[in-house]
Structure 1
Amino acid sequence: MNKEFDDNGAAEFEKLLQGVKPLAQDKLHFRPPVKSRKQIIENSHRQTAEVVFSDIYQPLLPSEGPMRWNREDVDPVEVKRLRRGDYVPEYLLDLHGMRQTEAKREISALIQACVRQNSPCCCIMHGHGTGILKQQLPIWLAQHPDVKAFHKANKEWGGDAALLVLVDVAEPTQKR
């Protein structure tokens, strides 16, 4: 009896499937999507900004007078040259309206752009506002390995609401 049932069932099943075409098998391999070069660069900027800038580190910054700082291996005369206006910033960064995480990313990208373009000076405008970026910006800049010095900007570049930054750029003979 089972044999009759199997034969009858198979014949009925074949009738039902008559005219049905089998699906073509797609040969998809589930690999992670390939990232574009732009995405890779953006991720690296984000990671370097998160690694380089800490909110816990407190460098020795002046409590009186204009905001200024120089790395230990940099001559203090460079800070004086920044103050006098001997360096003209080629890049300007306006941080108005940015959150701290956005500002960190933009500062990191600005410093990397200065190094790539062999531009020794840039200006970062933080504004007056509530003073959070004004307080944090010198702390972040003092942590970056490519920042040689910074000083409060002249009136023409923003005065109390901006910093002039001296970036360590490689000499043309030292470039890779």
Structure 2
Amino acid sequence: MADKDSDLFFEEMGDVKPLKSRDKAHIDAQKVITPGHLVRRVTAVTEKTVDDNHLTSADHVEILKSNDVLEYKQDGIQHGVYKKLRMGRYPVEARLDLHRMTVDEARKEVFRFINDCMQYDLRTVIILHGKGDRNPDKKALLKSYLAKWLPEMDDVMAFHSAQKHHGGTGAVYVLLRKSENDRQANRERHGLR
């Protein structure tokens, strides 16, 4: 059977002629190195990218447990304002979910999220960090880093673990600084200068 297949193949290929060597395409492109190429190469190797993110990345962080409550307020925050935040009585204007992120990814996202919220004059937001219950070692790693990062940001006035219907100790309410526009509108509303 194999001989028949072979014979049939050679019969079909009988009039096929090999390509002549001069019919081949030359793909050796001449690359001229310009001064711009050299500058870009040197810059790519020597320049470090600037990271405006000042949040702690490698420092030791106290590891929290899944049921630990996060709480923080800057001096000057009124007790009633903090209580209202803690009770979840402010409308949540934006949400960030950190589930399944690495610590470095979460660090970048938290920094970007808070800056974006400030740009859009948002005051009360929620960050879902999880409890760490699904981790093999039961460590609440993202929660622990978040507890360190949020006080490092000047725009964060206060934060507290969320109410059960918003995620409980797996989420945190964050109260952000009023923007200058909001402060001015508040002054005008109350007749102050």
Q: Give the TM bin, normalised by the shorter chain.
A: 0.5 to 0.7
Equivalent positions of 1:1-176 (< 5 A) are: 28-30=34-36, 31-32=39-40, 47-49=51-53, 51-53=54-56, 55-56=58-59, 66-129=69-132, 130-172=139-181
Q: Please give the per-residue CA displacement for 1:2-41, whole angstroms capped at 9, x wherever unaligned.
A: xxxxxxxxxxxxxxxxxxxxxxxx79441439xxxxxxxx
What is the Cα deviation at residue 138 of structure 1?
1.1
- Contact 1:120/1:169 (<8 A) preserved: yes
Q: Point out where structure 1 has 5 or more consecutive residues left out of the alignment.
A: 1-25, 34-42
- Contact 2:123/2:176 (<8 A) preserved: yes
More off after superposition, 84-93 vs 107-116? 84-93
Q: Which amino acid aligns with 2:59?
A: I
Identical positions, percent? 29
What is the Cα deviation at residue 54 of structure 1?
5.1
- Contact 1:123/1:164 (<8 A) preserved: yes
What is the Cα deviation at residue 71 of structure 1?
1.1
Q: In 1, Cα distance between the equivalents of 2:98 and 2:33?
A: 49
Distance change >3 Å, CA 173–CA 86, structure 1 → 2: closer
Q: In 1, Cα distance between the equivalents of 2:144 and 2:115?
A: 22
Instruction: Quote the RMSD (CA, aligned, Å).
Output: 3.1
- Contact 1:58/1:139 (<8 A) preserved: yes
For residue 97 of structure 1, give the secondary structure of its aligned residue in structure 2: coil
Q: In 2, Cα distance between the equivalents of 1:121 and 1:77?
A: 15
For residue 100 of structure 2, give the secondary structure of its aligned residue in structure 1: coil
- Contact 2:61/2:145 (<8 A) preserved: no
For residue 181 of structure 2, give the secondary structure of its aligned residue in structure 1: coil
- Contact 1:114/1:169 (<8 A) preserved: no
Q: Please give the per-residue CA displacement for 1:64-96, whole angstroms capped at 9, x wherever unaligned.
A: 973210012323332211022221121111111
Q: In 1, Cα distance between the equivalents of 2:58 and 2:33?
A: 49
What is the Cα deviation at residue 155 of structure 1?
1.8
Distance change >3 Å, CA 80–CA 136, structure 1 → 2: same
- Contact 1:78/1:149 (<8 A) preserved: no
